[in-house]
Chain A
Amino acid sequence: MNASVIIFYILSAFILGAALLAVTTRKIFRSAIFLLFSLIGTAALFFWMGVEFIAAVQIIIYVGGIVVLIIFSIFLTQKSGEEMPKPIRSRSLFSALALLFGFAFIYHLIYKYQFSQPGPHLFEVKVSDIGTQMLSTTEHGFVLPFEVVSILLLASMIGCIVIAMKIKPAEENER
C-alpha cells in the first residue's frame, strides 16, 4: 500500500463521483462544472499513469476548449440558473437497471480474463518519440491519419459555420 495506490483510489473516486454528479444534477451550470472536474481528474489519472503529454493535451483541449464551448452554448440558449425538468421516471429506472446489468456483465468478463503479463520494456513516453512517429512515413508512422485529421478539422469548421450560420455571425470554432 504505497502512495501511488492510494492516489489512484482517490483519483478514481474523484473521477467517478464527479461524473455521476454531472449526469444527475438538476442545474445545468453545475453539471458543466462537474464535467470540468471529471475531466481534470482524468488528466490527473494520465499524469499518474506516466503519459504527461496526453494529460497536457487533455487539459488544453478538453478542459480549456470543449468545456468552455459548452458553457458558451449554455449561455446562448437558456437561463442557466433555473432547474432543468426532471427526467422521465420510467426511463431512468429502466436505463439504470439495464446499465447496471450491462456493467456487471462486462466487468465480470474483464475480471475473468487472464491478461498476459507485460513484457520487459519500461513504459516511457518521450514527446520527441511521439513527434517523430507522428510524422514518419515508415511502417508505424501516423502521418496519414495526421493529415486526414487535419482535413477533418477543416471540414468540421466549415460545417459548423454553415450549419449555425444565420443573421448573427457564426460561433468561432477552433482547432
Chain B
Amino acid sequence: MNEISITHILFVSTALFFIGMYGLFTRRNMITMLMAIEIILNSVNINFVAFNKYLYPGKLDGIFFTIFIITIAAAEAAMAIAIIINLYRSHHSIDVEDAEELKY
C-alpha cells in the first residue's frame, strides 16, 4: 500500500470515467447508455474514497459522499428505467436514434 500513490488510483478512476463516456457517446441502446452512466458514477466514487484516504485520513467526508452518491445513483437508475419503459411504449424501440423529436 505504500507504493501505490494517489495518482495510480486516480489513473484508474479517470480511465474508468472516460470509458464510461465512450459508452455514453457510442451506444445506441438506451439501457446500455444507462450502464455507461453507472460506470461513470462508479469512477467518481473511487475518486472520492481515494482522496479521503490519501489526503484527509482523519475525516470521513469522502465516505459520506460516496454513500450518498450510491443512494442517489440507485434512485436515478430506477427513474431512468421508468422513462425508458415509457419511451418504449410510444416508439416501440429503445434505439436512441429513433427518439429524435428535438430535430429541427
Q: Touching in the complex, A and B, CB below 8 A?
A: yes
Residues of the A chain whose Cβ atoms lie less than 8 Å from the Cβ of B46: 42, 45-46
Residues of the A chain whose Cβ atoms lie less than 8 Å from the Cβ of B6: 115
Within A120-173, the residues touching B (CB, 8 Å) are: 121-123, 125, 129-130, 133-134, 140, 142, 145, 149, 152-153, 156-157, 159-161, 163-164, 166, 170-171, 173
* B-binding residues in A (CB < 8 A): 1-2, 4-5, 8, 12, 15-16, 19-20, 22-24, 28, 31-32, 35, 38-39, 42, 45-46, 49-51, 53-54, 57-58, 61-62, 65-66, 69-70, 72-74, 76-78, 84-85, 87-88, 91-92, 95-96, 99-100, 102-103, 106-107, 110-111, 115-116, 118-119, 121-123, 125, 129-130, 133-134, 140, 142, 145, 149, 152-153, 156-157, 159-161, 163-164, 166, 170-171, 173, 175
Q: Are A66 and B38 in contact (CB under 8 A)?
A: yes
Q: Are B85 and A171 in contact (CB under 8 A)?
A: yes
Q: Select one of B28, B38, B82, B88 contacting A62, CB under 8 A.
A: B38
Residues of the A chain whose Cβ atoms lie less than 8 Å from the Cβ of B54: 115, 118
B1-28 toward A: CB 8 Å interface, digit per residue (1/0)? 1011111111110111011111101111
B31-64 toward A: CB 8 Å interface, digit per residue (1/0)? 1101110110010011001101111111111011
Consensus secondary structure, chain B interface: helix
B99 at the interface (CB under 8 A from A): no
Q: Are B70 and A62 in contact (CB under 8 A)?
A: yes
Residues of the A chain whose Cβ atoms lie less than 8 Å from the Cβ of B29: 28, 84
Consensus secondary structure, chain A interface: helix
CA distance A96 to B19 in the complex (A): 9
Q: Are A164 and B85 in contact (CB under 8 A)?
A: yes
Residues of the A chain whose Cβ atoms lie less than 8 Å from the Cβ of B72: 149, 152
CA distance A70 to B45 in the complex (A): 20
Q: Are B18 and A73 in contact (CB under 8 A)?
A: no
* A-binding residues in B (CB < 8 A): 1, 3-12, 14-16, 18-23, 25-29, 31-32, 34-36, 38-39, 42, 45-46, 49-50, 52-61, 63-64, 66-68, 70-79, 81-86, 88-89, 94-95
CA distance A95 to B23 in the complex (A): 10
Q: Given A54-B66, A107-B11, A125-B63, are A175 and B74 neighbors across the interface (CB < 8 Å)? A: yes
Q: Are A28 and B32 in contact (CB under 8 A)?
A: yes
Min Cβ gap B74→A in Å is 5
